[in-house]
Chains A and B, each alone.
Chain A
Amino acid sequence: MLGYLVRRLAQAVAVVFAMSVIVFVGVYAIGNPIDVMIDPGATQEIRAKLIEQYGLDQPLWQQYFVFLANVAEGDLGTSMVYNIPVVDLVFSRLPATVELVLVSVTIAGVVGIPAGLYAGYRPDSIGAKAIMALSVLGFSVPTFWIGMLLIMAFAVNLGWLPSGGRGDVGEVLGLHTSLATADGWSHVIMPAINLSLFKMGLLIRLTRAGMVEAMSTDYVKFARAQGLPDRQIVFRHILRNISIPIVTVFGLELGSTLAFAVVTESVFNWPGVGKLIIDSILQLDRPVMVSYLIMVVILFVLINLTVDLIYARLDPRVRLKGGA
């Protein structure tokens, strides 16, 4: 177990390293940030001075090693646009995204998994067919469009919920989050639902597929022959058997939503990291892009590791050894 963790972490370091090279080169190829940053009327001397200040006059490999050296000291660089350390910048935006994503994956799980179980348990019922039709809508209709419809309906026409922005922030256990206030909830609920629809559709279909397959297995028939009620068969026998694909998708979705909730954050004007990364790409804010993407890689590695550990808890036949 410990050996497994060590190997996985070593792998993670290699992945992060490779990723940093790709990102660094890629960002370098996009364009020169100085052109965006300074007044076009600035003199040649000012331009040259700035280029030298940011170290952009050095060759690429040298810039990369300077970057690495700084990272080794815990310094991910300073935003060229906001002029504050990247770490501070990202962490000032992160709580907003995390709370939005947590609410949305919770909604997706709490609604999607039971709905999928039901749709698989009674596949021919009208309810199951309605659930399946809705799940198709959930992941085929574009997020931004549903987001705009939600705003039209609940903010503009009904006036029940605010149309965007983050509400009042309260403090729970030292964390600043809008989930601590009623106003915060009224702001988070609509974008969270919007963000959850795709995941919900996916979870419904996965759960249903697993359920349909499990219902015809011998261990379910055997449980029936022992007189177990269906409720117990579904929740104690089947759910655990079909949870591996569900956990996989859940983990991947959690990661990608945390990193790229861009569309929903833009539609609802949510001050999260998704908007930050889009803005910094437009402004060629190189340190923010590089550092952010590297943090995303670390996030994915951690989520995948967690998912693998959960596998081993769920299915006794999974043994944690080797790397891949």
Chain B
Amino acid sequence: MTGALEVRGLTTRFETRAGPVTAVNDVSFSVAPGRIMGLVGESGSGKSVTGFSILGLIEEPGRVTGGSVLVEGQDLRALKPDQMRRMRGRKVSMVFQDPMMTLNPVLRVGDQMSMAVRVHEKMSKRAAWDRAREALEIVGIPAPAERLKAYPHQLSGGMRQRVAIATALLHRPAVIIADEPTTALDVSIQGQILAEVRRLADETGTAIVWVTHDLAVVSSLADDICVMYAGRIVESGTSEQVITAPRHPYTKGLIESVPSLHEPGRKLPQIPGSTPQLLNLPTGCPFRPRCPRATDICATEPPRLDTDGRHVLCHHPLETT
């Protein structure tokens, strides 16, 4: 199975004044065409930086220091900056968290979208405008011709996020990185967008990396899940495997701390403590101070990779059988 996106050993470091920080540490995963992969983690776990690293949009003082990013078999890290720019939007695209901020407030929706069309394909303004209208139709926006003439502030939040998704889809890229695109929306709108994204992935064959902290969203949307902690992927597998039978204690903690409507009044379990500072990670396993299963070996040895079909980074993974 060749992936639309294959990430191998991706490592991104930031040279901060206090010292180097490895925000993304040896991250590997692959996403097949038409599949949705949920990249789950708390704030500061490196999930957004992973997204930006894939697009080659890491800014100073950060730098991708290792690994490869293959989109349809082509290694993006081997490209020159201008070649990389030509890949963005055409082969790999991105949608952001806050739809209020991602559209330029002083340009009409149609102007922004046709600019994105014409940067990769030579065509008249009129033809680009038509393409933009079709893209809005595809993501389910009513009266798309009028919406193109609107300014972003004249649209609702959900509508704006649809516009952003339509913009990312303009060139039918192989991969879209979606960085928490529904976090800022109402729950009902969120549901609509999720259904739309699922449909688009199935219809267009675009592979989607869905970056989120929200396990509930991911469990209903994603085919596969990678759980990130302190810059590393600590567990990965199909959605069903990871949600129903987590093997890493961190994943289990995350799942248990999702509030459930079925058992109202129950005290919500939490993971004690907070995400470690990347500047001074604990020795051994970075999750050790918060882990109920930690033993002496966890303090001295980096966690062992256990790969019997699934990737788990832990000395004492939970047994599933």
Taking Cβ atoms with an 8 Å cutoff, the residues of A that contact B are 217-219, 221-229, 232, 236-237, 240-241, 314-317
Taking the complex as formed, is B105 at the interface, i.e. its CB lies under 8 A from any CB of chain A?
yes
Please measure, in the bound complex, the distance between the C-alpha atom of A225 and the C-alpha atom of B96, giving whole angstroms: 10
From known contacts A317-B151, A317-B153, infer whether A221 and B96 are also in contact, taking CB-CB under 8 Å: yes
Please measure, in the bound complex, the distance between the C-alpha atom of A236 and the C-alpha atom of B238, giving whole angstroms: 43
Q: Would you mind naming 23 contact pairs between A and B with Cβ atoms under 8 Å apart? A: A218-B96, A218-B97, A219-B103, A219-B105, A222-B96, A222-B102, A224-B57, A224-B88, A225-B168, A226-B168, A226-B170, A227-B88, A227-B89, A227-B90, A227-B120, A229-B119, A232-B115, A237-B104, A241-B105, A314-B106, A315-B106, A316-B151, A317-B151
Residue of A nearest to B153 (CB): A317
Residues of B within 8 A of A228 (CB): 89, 115-116, 119
Residues of A within 8 A of B101 (CB): 217-219
CB–CB A218/B102 < 8 A: yes
Taking the complex as formed, is B94 at the interface, i.e. its CB lies under 8 A from any CB of chain A?
yes
Please measure, in the bound complex, the distance between the C-alpha atom of A228 and the C-alpha atom of B102, giving whole angstroms: 14
User: Which positions 82-113 of chain B face chain A at CB distance < 8 Å?
Assistant: 85-90, 93-94, 96-98, 101-107
Known: A224-B88, A226-B116, A228-B116. 7 other contacts (CB 8 A): A218-B96, A218-B102, A222-B167, A226-B89, A227-B86, A229-B85, A229-B119
Tell me which of A223, A232, A317 contacts B105 (CB under 8 A): A317
Please measure, in the bound complex, the distance between the C-alpha atom of A223 and the C-alpha atom of B85, giving whole angstroms: 11
Tell me which of A226, A236, A315, A316 contacts B88 (CB under 8 A): A226
Residue of A nearest to B91 (CB): A227
The residue in B103, B104, B105, B151 that gathers the most chain A C-beta atoms within 10 A of its C-beta is B104
- A246–chain B nearest beta-carbon distance, Å: 13
- B54–chain A nearest beta-carbon distance, Å: 10
The residue in A236, A237, A316 that gathers the most chain B C-beta atoms within 10 A of its C-beta is A316
CB–CB B102/A219 < 8 A: yes
- A135–chain B nearest beta-carbon distance, Å: 24
From known contacts A218-B96, A316-B151, infer whether A225 and B88 are also in contact, taking CB-CB under 8 Å: yes
CB–CB A240/B106 < 8 A: yes
Please measure, in the bound complex, the distance between the C-alpha atom of A225 and the C-alpha atom of B167, giving whole angstroms: 10
Please measure, in the bound complex, the distance between the C-alpha atom of A222 and the C-alpha atom of B90, giving whole angstroms: 13
- B193–chain A nearest beta-carbon distance, Å: 17
- A80–chain B nearest beta-carbon distance, Å: 52
Residues of A within 8 A of B119 (CB): 226-229, 232
Tell me which of B85, B96, B97, B104 contacts A227 (CB under 8 A): B85
Taking the complex as formed, is B55 at the interface, i.e. its CB lies under 8 A from any CB of chain A?
yes
Residues of B within 8 A of A314 (CB): 106
The 9 A-B residue pairs with the shortest CB-CB distance in the complex, in nearest-first order: A227-B89, A227-B88, A226-B89, A218-B101, A225-B94, A316-B151, A226-B116, A222-B102, A219-B104
Residues of B within 8 A of A222 (CB): 94, 96, 102-103, 164, 167
Residues of B within 8 A of A317 (CB): 105, 151, 153
CB–CB B153/A316 < 8 A: yes
Please measure, in the bound complex, the distance between the C-alpha atom of A232 and the C-alpha atom of B85, giving whole angstroms: 13
Residue of B nearest to A230 (CB): B85
Residues of A within 8 A of B167 (CB): 222, 226
Residues of A within 8 A of B105 (CB): 219, 241, 315-317
Please measure, in the bound complex, the distance between the C-alpha atom of A223 and the C-alpha atom of B55, giving whole angstroms: 12
CB–CB A237/B107 < 8 A: yes
Residues of A within 8 A of B85 (CB): 227, 229
Residues of A within 8 A of B88 (CB): 224-227
- A29–chain B nearest beta-carbon distance, Å: 49
